[in-house]
Chain A
Amino acid sequence: MAGDTPERDIPRRPPTPRWVKAIAIVALLIFILVLVVGLLGGMSHGPGMHGG
């Protein structure tokens, strides 16, 4: 129909950049690692840790 914009002319939002996804994945892995270490070793830290 007249006036319809062809699909190829409709601007499409570019995808999320790869570097953003890479940083998000690294951050998630570090978070999981910290969680696992914290659960295995106990979450407390600071001067009281060694009963000092």
Chain B
Amino acid sequence: MILHTSARKFVLAVHLTTSVAWLGAVAAYVPLDLTVATSSDPTTVRGAWTAMGLIATSILVPLALASLITGILISVGTRWGLIRHWWVVVSLVLTVLAVTVLMVERGVITASAAIATAAATMPEQLLALPPTLPHSIGGLAILLVVQWLNVYKPQGLTPYGWRRQEEERARLQARSWARIVATAETDET
């Protein structure tokens, strides 16, 4: 199912926009997470958790899902394919991992943000809320690796990709031979 040029460009535009925006949103989330981890001011920590909750639910989750879905569409809809090239496979695996961790962490973030914004929460409880640093920094690292793969597209066919390439090569060769034979027969007559 090869996408038409205009459809391919549209899906690619959406994919690039959502992927880069996802990376930017995580980059904005990390300093807030660091603030939660290092600050001893309850007001600052409360503000950071409020922002983290909003970023996670309103920005990170929609962008992550859109990036994953459009990435699959653009792979399936072009000659790159979803499992022919190693850079696509590794990008897909890392993106699925990042989205899965995000969906699990979203619950933790919203719960912590709700506690932080509750009027009854004491400052000691607020400062005791654990940050999500391993996940946010890990997520940022994964997205940077995926971006590197998508820009540089390092060479390497998967076993399936190599088989498909050989099949297409054999098909093209057979067609060329058939054309040569047909031309030779036409010349003889």
Contact = CB atoms under 8 A, between A and B. Distances in A.
A14 B165 CA distance: 12
Interface string B145-175: 1000000001111010010001000000000
B90 A20 contact: yes
B108 A45 contact: yes
Interface residues of A, number: 15
Contact of A46 (B111, B125, B126): B111
Q: Chain A: interface secondary structure?
A: loop
Nearest to B142: A27
Interface of A: 11, 13-14, 16-17, 19-20, 23, 45-47, 49-52
B166 A20 contact: no
Contacts, number: 43
A14 B85 CA distance: 12
Interface majority SS (helix, strand, loop, mixed), chain B: helix
A23 B61 CA distance: 25
A23 B86 CA distance: 11
B108 A50 contact: no
Given A16-B156, A19-B154, A52-B125, A45 B130 contact: yes
Contacts of A52: 115, 125-126, 128-129
B112 A13 contact: no
A52 B157 CA distance: 51
